[in-house]
Amino acid sequence: MSKAAEIDIVSVSKVYGATTAVHAISLKIPAGTYCCLLGPSGCGKTSTLRMIAGHESISSGDVRLGNVVVTDFPPAKRGTAMMFQSYALFPHLDLVDNVAFSLKMKGVEKDERRAKAMDMLRLMQLEAYATRRPAQLSGGQQQRVALARALITDPDALLLDEPLSALDPFLKVRMRAELKKLQTSLGITFVHVTHSQEEAMALADLIVVMNDGRIEQAAHPRIVFEQPATAFVARFMGDHNVISGRVTQSSEGKLMISVPAGADFLAMDKGAAGLAETADIAVRTDHVRIGQPSEKGLGFTGSVTNVEYRGSSVKLSVIGAGIEDFTAILTDKQFFVTPVKVGEAIPLCWDIEDAVVLGRLKH
């Protein structure tokens, strides 16, 4: 069942009246990839998905699926199937007829389509509920029906619009694992819209972080997390402190920035910013230690504003050196060697490899 298709989005825009929801984005999703479109609400991720699906007209640009340009195709002709946020199961039909719906539209004989739908329900372990209506099922079961209905058309790509948002946290984690397993076994391309970075990290081969109708970064989860491209990505992915300042020095592959009315900070230079320009540095919260920095600019001294015990780790909030809110996550072991209290002044430090210079999108 490996007939996955590459999805190629070429400078696609979506304009609603005077507002632009998606600004000429380009993206290549390789065949058989689990791709997550990640971003806050209103960032254009759902519009992008709906344009791939054909439920939203494309204002400019093209979408290619495999070797076919599908820009002007209706949804059913594209070889994609969509799973809707609220599942959109037909309340008046039982599960068999829900799953067989697209076959009925194609004019497949009743017995044949019901048999195929039963096979699909068996795959989803729902055959016992075949004659029930969607309203009689739990959220997780409804989601499996929606999956079965989408997959019966044998699509090249499955498009999922916030598929886990309607489930309770426990079920969310379970269905997440099921989705990943399904994608691996089917081998088709999945495009999954979510606003949860945790979900995206757990599932995706390719995370596409979107903000304000633009792609901030599209890369493997590990790259997105370890080398966030922009300040937005670093903040949205979490677990990063973002320090903004003006570049004062740039030499020997090192960059020094100066925080307004604060200290100077050092980072590895990637040539992203010139002298006197503003630049952002991201520092992983869990790579911060208590102690004197090995070199000037790789730490600061600040006062503790909050201490949060989280079991295996302790979260410290620190203010100082012109930085409003700096977070350090220490392991419980590290913390309890030298516990600190709110109001105490402590030195924090990190290694130069943990300070990443962030780029800025050229709008």
User: Which residue lies nearer to other proteins by CB, 5 or 215?
Assistant: 5
Specify the stretch interacting with other proteins by CB under 8 A; choose among 148-156, 165-173, 229-237, 266-274.
148-156
- Joined together, the tokens standing for residue 33 give 């990839």
Closest CA to 318 of 361, 348, 294, 281: 348
User: Which residue lies nearer to other proteins by CB, 155 or 297?
Assistant: 155
Specify the stretch interacting with other proteins by CB under 8 A; choose among 65-73, 102-110, 274-282, 347-355.
102-110
H/E stretch holding 169 reads helix 169-186
Q: Which residue has the tokens 């937005």?
A: 232
Among 17, 91, 260, 274, binds other proteins (CB under 8 A): 91
Does residue 309 belong to the site contacting other proteins (CB under 8 A)?
Answer: no
Among 59, 85, 258, 303, binds other proteins (CB under 8 A): 85
Tell whether the torsion through CA atoms of 129, 135, 136 and 140 is positive or negative.
positive
Q: Are 193 and 37 in contact (CB under 8 A)?
A: yes
Tell whether the torsion through CA atoms of 64, 65, 66 and 70 is positive or negative.
negative
Among 12, 36, 81, 158, binds other proteins (CB under 8 A): 81
Does residue 82 belong to the site contacting other proteins (CB under 8 A)?
Answer: yes
Does residue 108 belong to the site contacting other proteins (CB under 8 A)?
Answer: no
Does residue 53 belong to the site contacting other proteins (CB under 8 A)?
Answer: yes
Does residue 73 belong to the site contacting other proteins (CB under 8 A)?
Answer: no
Specify the stretch interacting with other proteins by CB under 8 A; choose among 85-93, 194-202, 277-285, 323-331.
85-93
H/E stretch holding 287 reads none
User: Which residue lies nearer to other proteins by CB, 84 or 340?
Assistant: 84
Tell whether the torsion through CA atoms of 118, 121, 123 and 128 is positive or negative.
negative
User: Which residue lies nearer to other proteins by CB, 107 or 274?
Assistant: 107
Among 30, 68, 84, 226, binds other proteins (CB under 8 A): 84
- CA angle 219/323/363 to nearest 5° reads 40
Does residue 75 belong to the site contacting other proteins (CB under 8 A)?
Answer: yes
User: In whole angstroms, what is the distance from residue 297 CA to residue 259 CA?
Assistant: 11
Closest CA to 30 of 220, 178, 203, 165: 220
Residue 25 bridge partners (DSSP): 12
User: In whole angstroms, what is the distance from residue 170 CA to residue 360 CA?
Assistant: 37
Q: Cβ of residue 182: shortest distance to other proteins, in angstroms? A: 18
- Total number of residues binding other proteins (CB under 8 A)? 24
Specify the stretch interacting with other proteins by CB under 8 A; choose among 96-104, 118-126, 236-244, 314-322.
96-104
Among 88, 173, 202, 223, binds other proteins (CB under 8 A): 88
User: In whole angstroms, what is the distance from residue 313 CA to residue 169 CA?
Assistant: 22
User: Which residue lies nearer to other proteins by CB, 53 or 256?
Assistant: 53
User: Which residue lies nearer to other proteins by CB, 82 or 175?
Assistant: 82
Does residue 166 belong to the site contacting other proteins (CB under 8 A)?
Answer: no
- Among residue numbers 248 through 307, which ones bind other proteins (CB under 8 A)? none
Does residue 90 belong to the site contacting other proteins (CB under 8 A)?
Answer: yes
Among 3, 23, 28, 55, binds other proteins (CB under 8 A): 55
User: In whole angstroms, what is the distance from residue 228 CA to residue 222 CA?
Assistant: 9
Q: Find the radius of gyration of the CA atoms of the chain.
A: 25
Buried b (16+ CB within 10 A) or exposed e, 194-219: bbbbebbbebbbbbbbbbbbbbbbbb
Q: Cβ of residue 91: shortest distance to other proteins, in angstroms? A: 7
Q: Cβ of residue 178: shortest distance to other proteins, in angstroms? A: 21
Does residue 149 belong to the site contacting other proteins (CB under 8 A)?
Answer: yes
Buried b (16+ CB within 10 A) or exposed e, 90-122: eeeebbbbbbbbbbeeeebeeeebbebbbebbe
Among 76, 115, 201, 361, binds other proteins (CB under 8 A): 76
List contacts with other proteins (CB under 8 A): 53, 55, 74-77, 81-82, 84-86, 88-92, 101-102, 104-106, 149-150, 153
